[in-house]
Every structure is written in structure tokens, then in C-alpha cells.
Amino acid sequence: MTGFLNTLKSSFVIPAALVGVLAALLMIPGTGGSGQAAAQEAAVAVPPPAIDLPAAPRDGVQTAVLAGGCFWGMQGVFQHVKGVRSVLSGYSGGAASKAQYEEVSTGTTGHAESVQITFDPRIVSYGQILRIFFSVAHDPTELNRQGPDEGTQYRSTVFFANGGQKRVAEAYISQLNAAHIFGKPIATTLEAFKAFYPAESYHQDYLIHHPDQPYIVFNDLPKLRNLKRLFPEWYVEIPVTVASSDMR
């Protein structure tokens, strides 16, 4: 968000609903506001990646770390994806000493608000995780922003953990750009994964706990509707939560 709204968003004194109302009021055409919401509602399924990581029969769980705007919505989307075992909101890209919400919100730490997705590759592949990421989880053409949230901490990034993930992500971005899937080039960056730091507890499962918060209603619930509409075979009604992730 802007610095003003970011302060409100992180405050324990100002009601979250008021933050959402103020955010919605600032979302005007031409600034990534109502146009962003319309884009979310009009999202289209991108084609599957031509290159993907194979899943061996005895593969255990794998992990993807992705950044694409406020982690509330990113976490909320992937919690409803079949084969996903856990999703944590957190920070990646910067130092451990800077992995606190107030500092990350300044946009000077190198961190991006991110999600750590643990998934079963025998059910959902890394490429399919990226397909949902590029299609419904965020707008990959936005540079250092998503909707009302602006700054490098809201950048679109794939934090690749190994050469295989880097190869799949690079090839997929090239594939989507060559097919002119979006009206603008993809702005998603690739960064070598170094560490992931879980966010504060009040950020975890935020969409699940606050589905009526105006910020969530305006920015993030359309993503869930698009996931269900465009990828019904990957959508699960009951989300995996941070508390239950070890049981799924």
C-alpha cells in the first residue's frame, strides 16, 4: 500500500475494516484500483507450461516460494489448491534481521511479501503452481505493485530453489510472453532462494479469518472466484490452514 495505508494496515488500533474502506476509496481508474479488480474478475487461464518438473513415484513434498503483492491474497488462493499441504505468509529476499512487517513495509529491506507453498508433486506439479500464480493469484505485468499496494516489497518474483525450478520458470515466462497472453510483458523477476521467514501470526490465514474485511473483499475474493471458475479441477472447497497443515 501507500505509506499511509500501510501504517493503518499494520495497526492494532485502527479497525481492519476501516483500512479496507480507505483502500477501496483510493482505488480509482488509472491507478491500479478498480481496473485491477476488473482484471481479476476477467482473469483468463493461461496455458500449461511446456516444460515442467517430473514427479517420481516416491517423491516427497516440494516447496515453492513466490511473491505477488500482499501475502494475504496469495496465501488465500493457494490454500484452496488441490495437492497443497501448507501455505505460510512471510518474507523472502532480505536479511533475517529485517524480516518484520513494519520494516519490510518501508520497501528498503530487499524483502518481498511472499508465500511458502509446500505441495505434493504427485498431485500438483511445480508448473501447475506457477500456472495458478500467473493466472489468478496476481497480475504478473505489474512492476513493484499490485492494486493499491506499491513498492518493491510487493514485487512479482519467483524465488527458485534449484536449477530445475529456475529452468521451468524461465521457460514459462518466455512461453507466455511469446504467446502475448497479457497486454504487457511479464514483470516477474527470478531470484535465487536464500531463506524464507514466516510473517507474524496475525498475518497467517488472514483471508480465512477476515473474509468480510473490505480490502479482502475487493482485492482477494475475486482471485478465489477465478480459481474456482478457471481451474475447477484444482480447486478444493475447504482450505488448508496453518494450524491444520500438518494433518493434510
Cell of 26: 483510493
What are the pLDDT digits (tens) for 9-49?
A: 544 333 444 444 444 444 433 333 444 444 455 688 899 99
**CA 239 – CA 248 distance, rounded (Å):** 10
What are the pLDDT digits (tens) for 220-237?
A: 999 999 999 999 999 999
> Per-residue pLDDT averaged across 59-83, rounded?
96
Coil/strand/helix, residue 57: coil
pLDDT at 23: 47
What fold characterizes domain 3-51+58-233? Peptide Methionine Sulfoxide Reductase; Chain A (3.30.1060)
Cell of 98: 529485517
pLDDT at 24: 45
- Report long-range pairs for 183-189 (Cβ below 8 Å, ≥24 apart): 183/141, 184/141, 185/141, 186/134, 186/140, 186/141, 186/156, 187/140, 187/141, 187/142, 187/143, 187/144, 187/155, 187/156, 188/134, 188/140, 188/156, 188/157, 188/158, 189/155, 189/156, 189/157, 189/158
Coil/strand/helix, residue 81: strand
Residue 159 has pLDDT above 60, yes or no: yes
Residue 215 has pLDDT above 60, yes or no: yes
What are the pLDDT digits (tens) for 93-143?
A: 999 999 999 999 999 999 999 999 999 999 999 999 999 999 999 999 999
Could you tell me which residues come within 8 angstroms of residue 2 by beta carbon, excluding any fewer than 6 positions away? 26, 148, 150
CB count in 10 Å sphere of residue 239 = 20
What is the chain's length? Answer: 248
pLDDT over 90 percentage in the chain: 76
Residue among 70, 77, 115, 132 flagged as catalytic: 70
Paired residues of 180 in beta bridges = none
217 is catalytic: no
